[in-house]
């Protein structure tokens, strides 16, 4: 299981990995998801994505995350626990949060990752009793995840590192999954050996649309109140149906220009069943063909409402730029 907390329920997503506490963001419902996700809806959806979004759960660059991968690791050969697994040694460095760490191998890089960066790592995790619960090393599969999508101990600890460095982290329960975690996460203080392989800075957010406040007179309008205009014509001929699984890139803003979610920034296209998201998306994406990029002005009634009941969901009219990559 990866130390991450995720909003999108992706098959592999470091956020999910790191912080079960925030599985809501990577949740199986899409950020753009409907009030109650369809039973067969895909795990990754704009809802999940926004971490609100968050989920990603959506397609993360890594196929395995600590929490998610723990099950497969359990059947593999365990790596021996460190001699100091029970407690950090006297020469370990301790921060004010209670995180203790020790450099096992100096790095070759000069820069430290920031909280919004993505990192690629190898890691192994043990409980205080010395039981290994997950390891990307055993799977021989490094993982990549956004640093702000994992447990606090990882978010803080990785920022102390540089590329090429290997460090041991003694993470108190309060910075991990807690003393009584849910969903099979390991309880109490945890010990991780983490090797930072690569730092990837996040993509720059797209510019706020000049017409974000209201649809222009040239925009088309459907009977439901959905308004839209094509930003880039597509190359396809067929349109998806409500039952189609679609792959899209998107960014979403409130009418005051505040971006609340973007798969573009995460550099992770989102995949979901079209009838498993908000009504404005279900209707709007069916108007598109592959390769097309369209801007939608979605009234509150077709989004999350003027007073959303879903925690963290944006209210009122929303504006989305959506690019349809593929569907089936």
Q: Averaged over 299-328, what is the pLDDT? A: 96
- The pLDDT confidence band at residue 104, using thresholds 50, 70 and 90, is very high
Distance CA 3, CA 19 (A): 5
Is residue 132 within 8 A of residue 85, CB to CB? The reply is no
Is residue 19 within 8 A of residue 26, CB to CB? The reply is no
Whether 220-327 and 63-200 are alike in CATH topology: the answer is yes
Task: Summarize pLDDT for 220-232 with one digit per residue, the tens.
Answer: 999 999 999 999 9
pLDDT score at 278: 97
User: Taking the domains of the chain in order of start, what are their residue ranges?
Assistant: 63-200, 220-327
- Evaluate whether the domain defined by 220-327 bears CATH number 2.170.190.11: no
Chain centroid offset of residue 61 CA: 10
- Token pair for 309: 């009941």
Q: How many C-beta atoms lie closer than 10 Å to residue 106's C-beta?
A: 10
Kindly give the pairing relationship between strand 166-171 and strand 190-200. antiparallel
Catalytic residues: 250, 260-261, 278, 304, 320
pTM tops 0.85, yes or no: no
Task: Summarize pLDDT for 13-39 with one digit per residue, the tens.
Answer: 323 333 332 322 222 223 334 333 333
Which CATH number is 63-200 given? 3.10.50.40
The number of CA neighbours under 13 Å toward the Cβ of 47 is: 32
Query: Taking the chain, what is the end-to-end CA distance rounded to the nearest angstrom?
Result: 31
Helix spans in 91-205 (H): 136-139, 152-158
Q: What percent of the chain has pLDDT over 70?
A: 77
Task: Summarize pLDDT for 199-210 with one digit per residue, the tens.
Answer: 998 888 999 999
pLDDT score at 10: 28
């Amino acid at each position: 299981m990866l130390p991450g907390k995720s909003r999108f329920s992706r098959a592999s997503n470091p956020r999910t990995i790191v912080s079960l506490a925030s599985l809501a963001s990577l949740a199986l419902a899409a950020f753009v998801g409907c009030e109650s996700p369809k039973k067969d809806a895909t795990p990754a959806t704009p809802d999940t994505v926004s971490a609100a979004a968050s989920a990603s759960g959506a397609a993360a660059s890594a196929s395995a995350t600590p929490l998610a991968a723990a099950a497969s690791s359990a059947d593999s050969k365990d790596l021996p626990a460190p001699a100091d697994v029970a407690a950090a040694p006297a020469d370990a460095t301790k921060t004010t949060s209670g995180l203790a760490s020790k450099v096992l191998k100096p790095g070759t890089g000069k820069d430290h990752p920031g909280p919004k960066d993505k990192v690629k790592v190898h890691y192994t995790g043990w409980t205080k009793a010395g039981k290994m619960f997950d390891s990307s090393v055993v799977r021989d599969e490094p993982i990549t995840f956004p640093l702000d999508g994992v447990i606090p101990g990882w978010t803080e600890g990785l920022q102390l590192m540089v590329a090429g460095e290997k460090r041991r982290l003694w993470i108190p329960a309060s910075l991990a999954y807690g003393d009584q975690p849910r969903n099979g996460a390991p309880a109490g203080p945890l010990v991780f050996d983490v090797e930072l392989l690569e730092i990837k800075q996040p993509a720059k957010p797209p510019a706020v649309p000049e017409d974000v406040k209201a649809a222009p007179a040239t925009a088309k309008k459907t009977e439901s109140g959905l308004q839209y205009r094509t930003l880039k014509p597509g190359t396809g001929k067929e349109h998806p149906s409500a039952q189609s699984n679609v792959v899209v890139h998107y960014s979403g803003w409130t009418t005051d220009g505040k971006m609340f979610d973007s798969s573009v920034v995460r550099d992770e296209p989102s995949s979901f069943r079209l009838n498993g998201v908000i009504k404005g998306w279900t209707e709007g994406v069916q108007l598109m063909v592959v390769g097309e990029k369209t801007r939608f002005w979605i009234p509150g009634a077709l989004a999350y409402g003027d007073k959303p009941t879903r925690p963290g969901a944006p209210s009122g009219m929303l504006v989305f730029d959506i690019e349809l990559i593929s569907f089936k």
